[in-house]
Amino acid sequence: MSELKRDKIKYIRDRAKSAYVKDEECYICGGDESLDFHHFFSVTELLDKWIKEKKLVISTAEDMMEMRDEFIEVHHKEIYDDTVTLCHKHHLKLHSIYGKKPTLVTGPKQMRWVDKRRVKEYETI
């Protein structure tokens, strides 16, 4: 058994990221440069909460590999659907409002903010 040498979330991202659907433009402004993929619900926080609720003990890489598919399946909506592609400028703006590591409860607020910014952006065109 190998010890856990990486952050737990990296095992999840390694498995999940190939299925991410990153758009070719910013959802807010339509820009097509410096695009970031944003999860409205922090996958790190979801993972920590899930491990705690299930009372899992994760101490090895094998432990993470064994549980990651179940975690991804249970949180499919948050990992793949509750996401948005933003230009780096708008991604930084979102995090300046909701923090570097937004809590799970801010997910719906982030979604509303993104939608409102999009409307404002297109009203000025």
Residue keyed to tokens 């409860």: 105
Encoded tokens for 114: 């993104």
Q: How confident is the model at residue 122 (pLDDT cuts 50, 70, 90)?
A: confident
Encoded tokens for 107: 């997910």
Alpha-carbon distances, residue 40 vs 1, 58, 94, 111, 112 (angstroms) = 34, 25, 10, 7, 10
DSSP single-letter state for residue 60: B
Please indicate, yes or no, if residue 76 is contained in any of the structural domains: yes
The mean pLDDT of 74-95, rounded to a whole number, is 97
Q: Give the residue numbers spanning the domain of 59.
A: 8-123
- What's the chain's length in residues? 125
Q: How confident is the model at residue 7 (pLDDT cuts 50, 70, 90)?
A: confident
Please indicate, yes or no, if residue 1 is contained in any of the structural domains: no
% of the chain surpassing 90 pLDDT: 74
Please indicate, yes or no, if residue 63 is contained in any of the structural domains: yes
Domain count along the chain: 1
Reported pTM: 0.88
